[in-house]
Amino acid sequence: MTLTADSVPHLPRHVRFRFDAARNCHVLLAPEMVIMPDAIAVAVLDAVDGIASVGAIADTLAARYEAPREAVLADCIEMLNDLARKGMIAS
């Protein structure tokens, strides 16, 4: 599975994304796996709601951070595909 701008990503039922107060950072949890995403990944994952497409997520983030939309979209696709390969994002 490869995500494109038109894909609508969501977290599978068995993946949890939350803030961890003990470490003061966000964590992405799956079977036998703990990932601590960086600030950019957190912004993308916050926008993953099972409704917005990858393109729409890139639009939102590009506007919020006043960054070039094509570069943001490329980053989003790369990051989400990396998580999809680990089974932590579905579409």
Partner 1 sequence: MNDLAPATVNAARHAPAPPLAMLMELTHRCPLKCPYCSNPLAMDRARDEMSTETWKRVISEAAALGALQGHFSGGEPMVRDDLVELVRHAHREGLYTNLITSAVLLDKRRMDELAEAGLDHVQISFQGSETALADHIAGLRHAHVKKLAAARLVRGAGLALTVNAVMHRRNLHQLPAMLDLAVEAGAQRIEVAHVQYYGWALKNRAALIPTRAQLDEATRIVEVARQKLEGVLNIDYVVPDYYASRPKACMGGWARRFFNVTPSGKVLPCHAAETIGHLHFDTVQEKSLAEIWAHSEAFNVYRGTEWMPEPCKGCDRAEIDWGGCRCQALALTGDAAATDPACGLSPHHAMMKELAVAESAAGAEDFAYRMIS
Half-sphere exposure of 46 (CA within 13 A, CB side): 11
Site for partner 1 contains 34 (CB under 8 A): yes
Half-sphere exposure of 15 (CA within 13 A, CB side): 19
> Which residue do the tokens 């979209």 mark?
73
CB 77 within 8 A of CB 3: yes
Site for partner 1 contains 4 (CB under 8 A): no
If the CB atoms of residues 26 and 58 are measured against partner 1, the closer one turns out to be 26
If the CB atoms of residues 23 and 51 are measured against partner 1, the closer one turns out to be 23
Whole-number minimum distance, CB 45 to partner 1, in Å? 15
Whole-number minimum distance, CB 54 to partner 1, in Å? 19
Half-sphere exposure of 32 (CA within 13 A, CB side): 1
Site for partner 1 contains 14 (CB under 8 A): yes
Residues that bind partner 1 (CB under 8 A): 1, 12-14, 16, 18, 20, 22-23, 27, 29-36, 85-87
